[in-house]
Chain A
């Protein structure tokens, strides 16, 4: 089975976001008019629009009155993103329109080839009015997206930061390329990057971030701006701390559960993706072998008189059947991508829990430190030595200190205790803040996840239905031809 011939490196649909946006406007208009979805009467241009939307987003929109709700369900995600709307999205329409290959010298002065993506921003009003002014646009490469995300991770550790599409192709079945330069991979990455930007832009907190905004608007000098924030240092220290093993004395039950959930989610989605990829591989084989029927029927028809025509035309249908699997599996890839997003989201969720643990741990450390300092002061003040300490030993061996020494020590301790109390207060506040914000975001994330994944399952069912319908059609046609044999 040969691989598909490489497609041209080109965006499938220009400015898909503008299509998406028009469709959203369409649906929100209709829903505002309180029309039943089944009664959606569309103009021809609107129908074409919906069809284009369906292609871009890999879902099948059908005209069935019975499935009318599916129009709106699949759009709901984007609708929510816009309508719940951050002020950013209310003003600007964001899209990743194209991808291009570039060559240049990298950090070590070696020639390399890489891909850049075109980010476009359009003012919302212009799009809905149908005029098409030249959008603001700039080119970014994947590593810059990574930089942006890392910045957000460090700056908002209590938020579940939307994930990027995968760096390298994983869970491939044999026909898919694992090559990062493969046009199909680039195309899917383009869609993923756009999705990432939209997720960030629709997040109530992240959308207001200045670095994010300049990522979208300032092509040059953005990198420097990011580094100037000094987030790198924070990132490094955080990373170090996170990688160290530490044990929290009083783990927060909710977060522990959430982390456990993140682990399970990651494990089960990985398994699902693996199994699905293998099944896709096999399904491909089944369909393609039917192509051999086409060939043999054709050859056989040459030696038959009455059976010839029936055989020949049946053969054509077998060829069509064999070819239909390509589209089917392409649609399924989109489903896989939706699952992958949540695979990576699971990781982001776990990261939040980890960071909370760290915050908690640091609080506990500070509190512990404070307690021990207070204890020291008490010992010093009362002259009693409660616990075994080196000081206790030395004082027994070498005699106690002079009152001046004691006085100095006490003073120092007092200062330290004061500082320590400040620190504990700070850290406590931090922790509380963290827990509060994190929990709000986790609830938001849960709702989003439940909604999105339910939609994904529905679109999976729609895909299966579409596949079955194609199968019914082909075999009915074949049956007719066979009966003419």
Chain B
């Protein structure tokens, strides 16, 4: 157990026990002689909820080390897949479950392979827990709850497949995240049988405490942040702009898909028209039939290209639209944490000021009337309150520092991931477009070739 303000930053990644965050209380508050009363306990509840595995608790500084470690190592030791959607019908409802398979070499897992079934609600629960535990880390978004058009769409095959892919990506992003992937809730999600999961879900902070947190959060939000550091303001500006751009790209791509579909509708009528024509002709019958065939084949290729756009590019763009919303929420939560800290700072300062004025006033009054005793009691009481507030403040401070550092490192990580994801999505799209044109090219070149050999055969053109 280390006391007070000693910091041990040389703690290596992963397995430090009870390393404490940098204590900057000395910079913010005047050190009181009464500080010997304060024993800074290694608070395992620095964040709400107890989903943190104690052995994984690290300081923000060493967290950065850990990030680096993860990236350099590039050894994936956990593989997760989501597949095999199945429909379940009960008396009350119908819902879909997905098979979640895990293969891992991590020591904290009891076995190396797991297979469980999970429904969308379970994923929602997991995401909620991760966000509660790490309000300023950036979690990949889940697919949306339902298609706005109508609930009937929920069990449509395409919708289920799109959702399955998105859930798969979600779990993989969690597994790739240095902090999230070591979450106890995550582990339980991947490994527990349905009954176990249900009972585990029931634990954790109760309804009332969650309500209390929400109230606090609202209060903080209303109060607003006073001194937001510049870098977070810049982040917010970036997120605003990014959100706009990615939404535009999403819309543009959807528009392209619509236009392509309409083009396809018209093109589908061309082939049959040429075929119809060939029936009235003699010499021309063959080339006309040939052209009809070519147009039909191009139609098929166009159809596939449209499907590719819908299946590959649009979901990625859509996810990053949701990411932008996540980022906004993360920044808001960080602001709230800071607002909370600022509020507590003010409150403590006010209390201390009260204490000082109180003691002067009281000592005069009581001394003359009652004697020394009640004054001391009062003083003791105030001292106690101050001690508690100081405690809270320090916790808030820690929370803030933690939040800021967590966000900063995760921001860098997220930007890298975003860049990789979007880059490969666009490269992939470009490749598919090239392939589409290459296939169509081959179709028409084969037509030309056939006409050439035909002509040679009929002796129509002198090639000599």
Give A128 to B274 CA distance when docked, in angstroms: 41
Q: Which of the candidate stretches A144-152, A241-249, A477-485 sits at the interface with the other chain?
A: A477-485
Which of A276, A286, A296, A458 has the most B CB atoms < 10 Å from its CB? A286
Q: Is the CB of A462 within 8 A of B430?
A: no
B431 within 8 Å of A (CB atoms):
yes
Give A457 to B274 CA distance when docked, in angstroms: 11
Contacts of A276 in B (CB 8 A): 270
The count of residues in chain A whose C-beta lies closer than 8 Å to any C-beta of chain B is: 60
Q: Closest CB of chain A to B252's CB: distance in Å?
A: 5
Give A468 to B305 CA distance when docked, in angstroms: 14
* A464-B444 contact given A275-B269, A289-B255, A454-B287, CB 8 Å threshold: yes
Contacts of A269 in B (CB 8 A): 277
Q: Which of the candidate stretches B218-226, B330-338, B379-387, B420-428 sits at the interface with the other chain?
A: B420-428
* A289-B252 contact given A31-B462, A465-B445, CB 8 Å threshold: yes
Partner of B266, one of A282, A293, A457: A282
B245-285, CB < 8 A from A? 245-246, 248-249, 252, 255-256, 259-260, 262-263, 265-267, 269-270, 273-274, 276-277, 280-284
B148 within 8 Å of A (CB atoms):
no
A442 within 8 Å of B (CB atoms):
no
Q: Which of the candidate stretches B161-169, B186-194, B341-349, B446-454 sits at the interface with the other chain?
A: B446-454
B461 within 8 Å of A (CB atoms):
yes
Give A276 to B267 CA distance when docked, in angstroms: 8
Nearest residue (CB) in A for B274 is A272
Main secondary structure of the interface of A (DSSP, over half): helix
B463 within 8 Å of A (CB atoms):
yes
A440 within 8 Å of B (CB atoms):
no
Q: Which of the candidate stretches B3-11, B35-43, B434-442 sits at the interface with the other chain?
A: B434-442
Q: Bits for B395-432, please: 1 = Cβ < 8 Å to A, else 0.
A: 00000000000000000000000010011001100110
Q: Is the CB of A461 within 8 A of B447?
A: yes
Contacts of A457 in B (CB 8 A): 287-288, 291, 451
Contacts of A37 in B (CB 8 A): 463
Q: Is the CB of B252 within 8 A of A292?
A: yes
The count of residues in chain B whose C-beta lies closer than 8 Å to any C-beta of chain A is: 58
Nearest residue (CB) in A for B266 is A279
Q: Is the CB of B422 within 8 A of A278?
A: no
Nearest residue (CB) in B for A310 is B423
Contacts of B430 in A (CB 8 A): 475-476, 478-479, 482
Q: Closest CB of chain B to A39's CB: distance in Å?
A: 11
Q: Is the CB of A454 within 8 A of B451?
A: yes
* A279-B270 contact given A450-B283, A454-B284, A471-B433, CB 8 Å threshold: yes
Partner of A268, one of B280, B426, B436: B280
Q: Is the CB of B270 within 8 A of A36?
A: no
Q: Closest CB of chain B to A471's CB: distance in Å?
A: 4
Q: Is the CB of A485 within 8 A of B422?
A: yes
Q: Is the CB of B256 within 8 A of A290?
A: yes
Give A31 to B430 CA distance when docked, in angstroms: 44
A264 within 8 Å of B (CB atoms):
yes
B321 within 8 Å of A (CB atoms):
no
* A289-B259 contact given A454-B287, A479-B431, CB 8 Å threshold: yes
Q: Is the CB of A303 within 8 A of B252?
A: no
A453 within 8 Å of B (CB atoms):
yes
Nearest residue (CB) in A for B251 is A292
A239 within 8 Å of B (CB atoms):
no
Contacts of A261 in B (CB 8 A): 280
A472 within 8 Å of B (CB atoms):
yes
Give A283 to B282 CA distance when docked, in angstroms: 32
B171 within 8 Å of A (CB atoms):
no
* A458-B277 contact given A34-B464, A482-B426, CB 8 Å threshold: no
A265 within 8 Å of B (CB atoms):
yes
* A279-B263 contact given A272-B273, A461-B444, CB 8 Å threshold: yes
Give A71 to B212 CA distance when docked, in angstroms: 83
A249-298, CB < 8 A from B? 261, 264-265, 268-269, 271-272, 275-276, 278-279, 281-283, 285-286, 289-290, 292-293, 296
Query: 17 more A-B contacts (CB under 8 A) besides A279-B263, A468-B441?
Result: A76-B461, A265-B280, A268-B276, A282-B267, A289-B252, A292-B252, A292-B255, A306-B419, A457-B288, A457-B451, A458-B451, A464-B440, A465-B445, A471-B437, A478-B430, A479-B431, A485-B419
Can you report 20 residue pairs joining A to B where beta carbons are below 8 Å apart?
Answer: A36-B463, A272-B273, A275-B266, A279-B267, A279-B270, A282-B262, A285-B262, A296-B245, A306-B419, A454-B284, A457-B451, A458-B448, A461-B444, A465-B445, A468-B444, A471-B437, A472-B434, A475-B431, A485-B423, A485-B426
